[in-house]
């Protein structure tokens, strides 16, 4: 039997797991439904990746890095005051961009190489599913735009998304696909959005005298999503503004 999850609560018959951000959990009514695949669409100017770093504080996290080396991400996590001990990096970046000698490869952006990185990612996901059965874990992809931009057959990319989804359900974990509106292929974008259980949208509102970061959550499968826009800023982690605008 699985041990009771201390980060899990019951909400109208739905098991909820903490995101790792207590104010966000309260806004959501306790957290996100266990086994949720979340697409986090973020304005790249907003530093919304800090949400990902704070998500790792809640539990063991498999962190797939595709845009940067894991060491650079680790430095950011530590510099922002977070504990990195929960993080297990899966280094997609080096596997794809670097040779066996550690140099940047010039053999990129072809269908064969791109298909191989999809196979490598699926292989790691299956190992995670086997090794983490019964554990409380997160899975993070930073950034998922890397995969949707590959030159591989789109059917193989959809297959990867399905493997991510099935792994999330099998482990009953929280999985986050982080990226901007990162695909020019509308069919692939629609497929990803329709499969995901939760959609986070981070927006940057630039006024005359200040910049305001906003978070919308238009979709939470199994719950009624909030229609309110959440304001946040990046300080010591993610700081959510709990005040309400008065018309």
The structure's pTM equals 0.91
Q: For residue 148, give the 3-state DSSP assignment.
A: helix
**Rounded CA separation 105/192 (Å):** 29
The domain ranges of the chain are: 8-241
What pLDDT, in 10s, does the model give residues 53-110?
A: 999 999 999 999 999 999 999 999 999 999 999 999 999 999 999 988 878 887 777 8
What pLDDT, in 10s, does the model give residues 124-155?
A: 999 999 999 889 999 999 999 999 999 999 99
Number of C-beta neighbours around residue 157 at 10 A: 22
Query: Would you say residue 12 has pLDDT above 70?
Result: no
Over residues 106-125, mean pLDDT:
92
3-state helix, strand, coil in the chain (%, to 5): 35, 30, 35
DSSP state of 104: B
What pLDDT, in 10s, does the model give residues 202-225?
A: 999 887 788 899 999 999 999 988
Q: What is the CATH number of domain 8-241?
A: 3.40.50.300
- Tokens 């980060």 locate to 7
Of residues 22 and 108, more confidently modeled: 22
């Amino acid at each position: 039997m699985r041990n009771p999850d201390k980060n899990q609560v019951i909400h109208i018959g739905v098991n909820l797991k903490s995101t790792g951000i207590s104010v966000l959990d309260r806004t959501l009514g306790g957290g996100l439904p266990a086994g949720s695949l979340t697409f986090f669409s973020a304005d790249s100017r907003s530093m919304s990746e800090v949400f990902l770093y704070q998500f790792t504080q809640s539990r063991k996290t498999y962190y797939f890095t595709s845009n940067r080396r894991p060491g650079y991400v680790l430095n950011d996590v530590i510099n922002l005051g977070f504990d990195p001990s929960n993080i297990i990096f899966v280094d997609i970046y080096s596997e794809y961009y670097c040779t066996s000698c550690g140099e940047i490869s010039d053999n990129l952006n072809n269908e064969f190489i791109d298909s191989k990185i999809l196979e490598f990612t699926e292989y790691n996901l299956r190992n995670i599913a086997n090794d983490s059965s019964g554990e409380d874990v997160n899975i993070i992809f930073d950034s998922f735009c890397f995969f949707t931009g590959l030159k591989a057959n789109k059917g193989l990319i959809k297959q990867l998304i399905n493997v991510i989804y099935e792994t999330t359900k099998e482990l009953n974990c929280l999985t986050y696909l982080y990226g901007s509106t990162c695909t020019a292929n509308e069919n692939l974008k629609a497929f990803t959005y329709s499969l995901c259980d939760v959609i986070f949208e981070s927006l940057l509102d630039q006024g005359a005298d200040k910049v305001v970061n906003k978070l919308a959550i238009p979709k939470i499968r199994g719950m009624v999503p909030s229609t309110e826009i959440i304001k946040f800023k990046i300080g010591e982690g993610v700081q959510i503004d709990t005040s309400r605008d008065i018309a």
